[in-house]
Amino acid sequence: MERFPFLSPEWIEAARAIAAVHRERLPSPTEEVRVNLVVTEVPFADAELLAHLAAQPGLVEVDLGALDSPDVTVTLDYETTRAIFVEGNAQAGMQAFMAGRVRVDGDIGRLMAVFGMGGAPDPMAGDIGAELRAITEGVD
């Protein structure tokens, strides 16, 4: 299987294909939330990488670029982002947040409510995480 740098356009395309395969099995958000991600220290980019996540009942969309009028904007470094999204390591995100390496602007409560942060792990997360690791350069 071909591997790509995390968050590169090729990685995003491959991750979309993985999401499409699992779409019917994924739990659906019960509310709408619009999140911008600002990823710093990206090894293959000269500037910050902008991405977004838009969730509504029946649909979660992740793509490059920023949304107008997000509910929340999360700024974090590349390695922390990769640990959360590829390795499924929510603890890395919490540690980075507590250390001041994650900045959240907007309604963090809404973000936590929609994605059930702090609840039981999603059983699909392991399957999807394994597939994301398989397409990501530098991950065993």
Structural domain boundaries in the chain: 9-135
Specify the fold of 9-135: Nonspecific Lipid-transfer Protein; Chain A (3.30.1050)
Angstrom distance (rounded) from CA 18 to CA 111: 23
Angstrom distance (rounded) from CA 101 to CA 120: 25
φ/ψ (deg, to 5) at 95: -65, -40
Cα radius of gyration (the chain): 14
Q: How many CB atoms are located within 10 Å of the residue 18 CB?
A: 16
Question: pLDDT of the chain along its 140 residues, tens only?
Answer: 799 999 998 998 998 898 888 777 766 677 788 999 999 999 988 889 999 988 877 777 888 899 999 999 999 999 999 998 888 888 898 899 899 999 999 988 887 776 655 444 555 566 788 899 999 998 76
Angstrom distance (rounded) from CA 114 to CA 136: 27
Are 57 and 32 a contacting pair, CB within 8 Å?
Answer: yes
pTM: 0.82
